[in-house]
Amino acid sequence: MAKIRNLAACALNRLQKESQLEIPEARIEIRALLRHALGDASPAWLIAHGEDTIGEETRHHFELLLQRRMQGEPVAHILGQREFYGREFAVTPDTLIPRPDTETLVEVALGKIPQAKEFHILDLGTGSGAVAISIALERPHASIVAVDRSHPALVVAQNNGTRLGANNVRFIESDWFSALNNQSFDLIVSNPPYIAQDDIHLQQGDLRFEPLSALASGADGLADIRRISASARRYLNPQGWLMMEHGYNQADKVAEILHQDQYHNIMTIADLAGHGRVTMGQKD
């Protein structure tokens, strides 16, 4: 029987060589898989019990999980969940896997939402519901509508909302604004598709396992951002904000789109890596 620490070190070496992941990222993934194999052990338990030996059944379970990851399957799909903004969200192949970059969108949105005042928010393309639910739980006085055109994704989002107690979110099946009729909002947020449809990264890594419709958007990746920008003013209250996540090198183009659609006070907020990640504009 192997010690937990030795098993983790061996698995890290194998995964890093097979997947070409950077060592810090590979280490995080190995720990997540090992904790799952050990019955969802806490990170602290894993550190404290590194010298413990692992039973054959548990070792075999871990090996199966590791093999799935080495074949390219995302850890979020293997475990069925992903942490986002300090909470665990269920994910499936029907949803985009929530990423740390998108926490910037949540932070920027929270900066515009009053702490204890009624405020109406729309989340376009909610996927797993990570953005809408995170905002809802941080601002319980706000009212959030979360839409997605994918019914399977909405089921995941609704289940996440129920499990996490986000009672101030309403989920609607809608292709962007199509099912919203005459509703209006103080803030519209979106993490839309923004990768060019012929980008080679779509055939690499975790992206191969995620819904293409949640990733790719036209020849330059900006087709859905243009569509959202052009339509959002109709659904925004006076002085309302539109904010959208985008690629690390798209900030200037997104700002120009908002300018052409007559938004004001346009600005871009950087993510933790220093890349322009969220661009927003205000209706007059």
CA distance 156 to 143: 20
Total length of the chain: 284
Please state the domain extents for the chain. Answer: 4-71, 94-282
- Please give the structure tokens belonging to residue 59: 């070792």
CA distance 233 to 2: 61
Instruction: Count CA within 13 A, CB hemisphere, residue 265.
Output: 8
Which range is most confident: 20-29, 60-69, 200-209, 215-224?
Answer: 60-69
pLDDT average, residue stretch 91-96: 93
Share of the chain above pLDDT 90, in %: 77
CA distance 34 to 12: 11
- Residue 58 near residue 95 (C-beta atoms within 8 A): no
Instruction: Count CA within 13 A, CB hemisphere, residue 183.
Output: 21
Triad 228, 101, 96: Cα angle to 5°: 65
Q: How confident is the model at residue 184 (pLDDT cuts 50, 70, 90)?
A: very high
Domain covering 94-282 in this structure, CATH number: 3.40.50.150
- Residue 267 near residue 280 (C-beta atoms within 8 A): yes
**How far from 184 is each of 91, 95, 122, 203, 254, CA to CA, in Å?**
29, 26, 9, 38, 23
Which residues, 6 or more positions from 31, have their beta carbon under 8 angstroms from its beta carbon? 8, 43, 46
pLDDT surpasses 70 at 175: yes
Per-residue pLDDT tens for 222-248?
999 999 999 999 999 999 999 999 999
- Please give the structure tokens belonging to residue 77: 């799909």
- Return the bridge partners of 144, or none: 121, 169
pLDDT surpasses 90 at 214: no
pLDDT surpasses 70 at 39: yes
pLDDT surpasses 80 at 202: no
pLDDT surpasses 90 at 24: no
Helix axes 130-138, 151-164, angle to 10 degrees: 30
pLDDT at 217: 80
- Please give the structure tokens belonging to residue 15: 């995964």
Q: How confident is the model at residue 113 (pLDDT cuts 50, 70, 90)?
A: very high
- Return the bridge partners of 169, or none: 144
Q: How confident is the model at residue 278 (pLDDT cuts 50, 70, 90)?
A: very high
